[in-house]
Amino acid sequence: MENLIPTLALTNLFRCFSTEELSVLLKKEHYHVKRYAKGAVIHLQNEKCVSLDIVLHGTVLVQKIDSNGDMLTLCSFMAGDSIGENLLFSRNNPYPMTMTAKSDTDILHADRTLILSLCQNSSGFLENFLQSISDKTLILAGKINTLSMKTIRQCMIEFLLYEYRIQHNATIRLEVSKKELAEKFGIQRPSLSRELMKMRNENLITFDAKSITIRDMKALKRLHTD
């Protein structure tokens, strides 16, 4: 309990409460903390959402099985992130994807009774809750936009131009493996590798295990707008 309170106080949803207020709230029922071992299934696809989950420690992967039976990772949630606020009060609220623990992960599961009470009694929590729902909507819209692109090349160009704006460097440092990058695009690693080699042969990029360097920025931008 003592370790839980300062951890929750740092999350976006509960930042409106002092540690003293959280101590009072956490004496109530309607929540529990559970540890999931690496690789454990947290929620299955089509399982009904009955709680708002706060990741206290570890990483949660959101995954789906493609037509070939391969598991694709669509996004991940880290410590401090919340899961399920956009489903908890829905009339039709099954999880659209399976969620698994990437590493040993601790999650606080708060049921809708507690969340509804907090929304009714704290305008700060209500604002944070609504903001989180809105953020999830934007994330989903961005993911749909990425996955609905016609080609792998369009996905790659979108990624490179975005990272160029963030990193301010034509050499894009990769924070994930190419396998994980492929999963973010909803494709398999060999498909990504083939496209990277094609782009390298066309002198658009060069790459190694840790980075991708844009060689022809004008051509990439032109292809992005075509």
pLDDT per residue as tens digits for the range 118-129: 999 999 999 999
Structural domain contains residue 42: yes
SS3 153: helix
CA distance 49 to 94: 6
The pLDDT tens digits of the residues spanning 59-111 come to 999 887 655 556 677 788 999 999 999 899 998 889 888 899 999 999 999 99
Structural domain ending residue among the three candidates 138, 171, 200: 138
**Are 105 and 62 found together in one domain?**
yes
Confidence of residue 208 (pLDDT cuts 50, 70, 90): very high
Percent helix, strand and coil across the chain, each rounded to 5? Answer: 40, 25, 35
**Are 114 and 19 found together in one domain?**
yes
**Are 116 and 67 found together in one domain?**
yes
CA distance 109 to 36: 12
**Are 128 and 186 found together in one domain?**
no
Contact 190, 198 (CB under 8 A): no
Total-model pTM: 0.65
**Are 124 and 179 found together in one domain?**
no
Structural domain contains residue 107: yes
Domain that holds residue 88: 4-138
CATH number assigned to the domain comprising residue 107: 2.60.120.10
CATH number assigned to the domain comprising residue 183: 1.10.10.10
Structural domain contains residue 94: yes
**Are 45 and 105 found together in one domain?**
yes
**Are 124 and 17 found together in one domain?**
yes
Single-letter code of the amino acid located at 17: F
Domain count, the chain: 2
Radius of gyration of the chain, Cα coordinates, nearest whole angstrom: 20
Taken in order 202, 203, 204, 205, the sign of the CA dihedral is positive
β-pairing, 71-77 vs 60-65, is antiparallel
Structural domain contains residue 144: no
**Are 220 and 179 found together in one domain?**
yes
